[in-house]
Amino acid sequence: MARLEPNAMSTTFQLDTATSRAHPTPQPMRRLTVPAIRGRKADGATRDPLVMLTAYTARQAQLLDEHCDILLVGDSLGQVIYGLPSTLQVTLDMMIAHGAAVVRGSYHSLVVVDMPFGTYEGGPAKAFESASRIMAETGCAAVKLEGGEAMAETIAFLSQRGIPVMAHVGLTPQAVNSLGGYGARGRSQQEHDKIIADGKAVQDAGAFAVVAEGVIEPIAVALTGSLEIPVIGIGASARCDGQVLVTEDMLGMFERVPRFVKRYEDLAGVISKAAGTYAAEVRAREFPTADQTYQPK
């Protein structure tokens, strides 16, 4: 993304349909900042809930940007884009490539990039090495990592060195093997206490926001009320300070989705229907027509 002076107008890249190349075009809007997102919650409440969706490509970012406060380049791209069995196989190079594309395709939303499994758990120094590379090579505003109290030292280390961190507690997909599956968290008092403690730990360590995933609603409400930083729910509660979903899930790109997903469109059906019509026309030699071919002058 073109780098401008700190107070300059944001720049986005419009795709030229004639050449498929990206051209920088100034937009009359400043990109949201980490302090602006953090400041949406005041006196323990967020009047205007934060809207967050995942994005993995420049074009997807362009379509979502005007509607969102935060675009998350999630490690869910491993399953959504690459067809991997889980997020554990996602690499730093994958996240950087997609993160840079999303930054190029947006001008309004705060862009946050997930730190993939194995790139930060080894300690603060390892995490800083990975996070600084993500920030430098993508132009994103922040990174996200999973874990509560166990990651507090790392979050503090990054935050103190100029790398904003969004935390992630509750159901943490990168820890699916130790959790024993993707079931909701917080059904026992021990889990309840841990989620609340994790939230406070990441806040005290310097996280500017925290995602609460797959937790029973009373815990999500309690966590939101107990923290000064925004709590963004996914499979949590409408009373959180914001919401996030995997875009492909809410657009109906997959037959099976988690219970907490609401499908806002059947995009898979639209694509399949269009492809079927195209295939039928090709086989009937009805496409291309004179409108799609070049004739002698």
Question: What does the pLDDT look like over 24-72, one tens digit per residue?
Answer: 555 556 899 999 999 999 999 999 999 999 999 999 999 999 999 999 9
Asked whether residue 76 is marked as a ligand-binding residue, the answer is yes
Cβ atoms of 152 and 204 closer than 8 Å: yes
Q: Roughly how many angstroms between the first and final C-alpha of the chain, as a whole number? A: 42
Asked whether residue 146 is marked as a ligand-binding residue, the answer is yes
Cβ neighbours around 112 below 10 Å, total: 28
For residue 204, pLDDT over 80 is answered with yes
For residue 6, pLDDT over 70 is answered with no
pTM of the model: 0.88
Per annotation, catalytic residue among 5, 66, 213, 255:
213
For residue 11, pLDDT over 50 is answered with no
What was the pLDDT predicted at 258?
Answer: 84
The yes-or-no answer on residue 213 being catalytic is: yes
For residue 286, pLDDT over 80 is answered with yes
Percentage of the chain modeled with pLDDT above 90? 79
Answer whether residue 140 is part of any domain.
yes
203: left (phi over 0), alpha (psi -120 to 50) or beta: alpha
Answer whether residue 127 is part of any domain.
yes
Residue 257: band (very low, low, confident or very high) from pLDDT cuts 50, 70, 90: confident
Answer whether residue 39 is part of any domain.
yes
Q: Out of 12-16, 48-52, 156-160, 225-229, which region has the weakest mean confidence (pLDDT)?
A: 12-16
Q: How many domains are contained in the chain?
A: 1
Answer whether residue 3 is part of any domain.
no
What was the pLDDT predicted at 70?
Answer: 98
What was the pLDDT predicted at 191?
Answer: 84
Asked whether residue 144 is marked as a ligand-binding residue, the answer is yes
Domain that residue 222 falls in: 11-248
Residue 256: band (very low, low, confident or very high) from pLDDT cuts 50, 70, 90: confident
Answer whether residue 150 is part of any domain.
yes
Answer whether residue 1 is part of any domain.
no
What was the pLDDT predicted at 190?
Answer: 83
CATH of the domain at 111: 3.20.20.60
Answer whether residue 260 is part of any domain.
no
Q: What is the mean pLDDT of residues 145-172?
A: 95
Answer whether residue 225 is part of any domain.
yes
